[in-house]
Amino acid sequence: MIGAGVMGADHVRTLHRSVPGVEVSLVADLDPERAASTAQPVGARATTDPADVIAGSDAVIIASHDSTHAELVLACLAAGRPVLCEKPLAPTVAECGRIVEAEGDRGLIALGFMRRFDPAHVELKAAIGRVGAPLLVHCVSRNVSSAPGSTTESSITNSAIHEFDSVPWLLDSPITEVSWHAGRSAHGEFQDPQVMLLRTGNGVLTTLEVFLNARYGYETRCEVVGEEGAIALTDPARVVVDHARTHATGYAADWRPRYADAYREELQAWVGALAAGLPNPLATARDGLRAAAVAEAVIASMKDGRPAAVSA
């Protein structure tokens, strides 16, 4: 594991507790105390050098800062190591393109677009045909608060990037045109919330709201409107509280409870494929390149105020 922050540490725990056939042997982080606190409970060795992980492991997971992804993935490719990189593959199209070229046809890279393994998203995709041909998709992605250092651009390349992969996956059609829109902002340092319009090659229009500082809780919504009806994700809350004349469900503080099953299924699929010598069942480097191209087009639309075509 490279990166022992929130995501990396959570992956380590999930691998250790819930994924058979794998052992976490090395954990790298620039903060030695964070690396040690993540590694020690699972019997792994801690290091501050990602090169130790790449050299000393059968396979690597990258969960470090987005800005480090390209360099680390390229190092894994140079060593011939299978690698699961958390999204995004890299923040820019140029970096993603170099990675795709370096990988060639080796199939070493898996990309962590975990919504492809989320039971709710999988069921939604399977049921789309029941409401006729899709006409519209409405997506909402809200968080309690943004990460330190967030910008308008990073909320596109790091958060909205999920829908840039999941919408084409749901509709079996690539995003070809985008536009970016915003009104009043709830945050003083960057635009939040944002609204994006995504048009896929099959003519379906998607609305996407990204609101990183919604405060009330973490929430993902997705509704597909078809010619004969609509189908949507439901509230995943498992407990309803009736008290003091209220009927209520709670919200998670971040994405981990909502997507715990997705991460576990994704990690198991990756580990199982590696152990059996099967092709990567996760999103690929080319999927990451396509999502980055959508993000680049959205940022272009944000800057010039016009719709933008997706270049790849």
Q: Which of 3, 19, 149, 29 is nearest to 86 (CA)?
A: 3
Write the CA distances from 101 to 19, 36, 183, 195, 274, integer angstroms: 31, 35, 39, 33, 22
Q: Containing H/E element for 137?
A: strand 134-142
CB atoms within 10 A of CB 59: 16
- The pLDDT of residue 41 is 97
DSSP state of 157: I
Strands 83-86, 60-62: parallel, antiparallel or unpaired by DSSP? parallel
Average pLDDT over residues 41-61: 97
The set of residues, in sequence order, having a beta carbon less than 8 Å from that of 173 and lying 6+ positions away, is 200, 201, 202, 204
Distance CA 133, CA 154 (A): 33
DSSP state of 171: H
Distance CA 167, CA 198 (A): 9
- The pLDDT of residue 235 is 82
Here the tokens at position 307 are: 């719709």
* pLDDT over 80 (residue 33): yes
Mean pLDDT taken over the chain: 96
- The pLDDT of residue 292 is 98
The set of residues, in sequence order, having a beta carbon less than 8 Å from that of 183 and lying 6+ positions away, is none
* pLDDT over 70 (residue 218): yes
- The pLDDT of residue 189 is 85
Spell out where 157-266 has E strands.
Answer: 175-181, 194-200, 205-211, 219-226, 229-232, 241-243, 246-248
Average pLDDT over residues 266-270: 98
Average pLDDT over residues 230-252: 91
Spell out where 6-133 has E strands.
Answer: 26-28, 45-47, 60-62, 83-86, 109-112
Q: pTM for this structure?
A: 0.95
**pLDDT tens digits, one per residue of 89-121:** 999 999 999 999 999 999 999 999 999 999 999
- The pLDDT of residue 312 is 67
| Choice among 109-118, 205-214, 236-245, 255-264 with the minimum mean pLDDT | 236-245
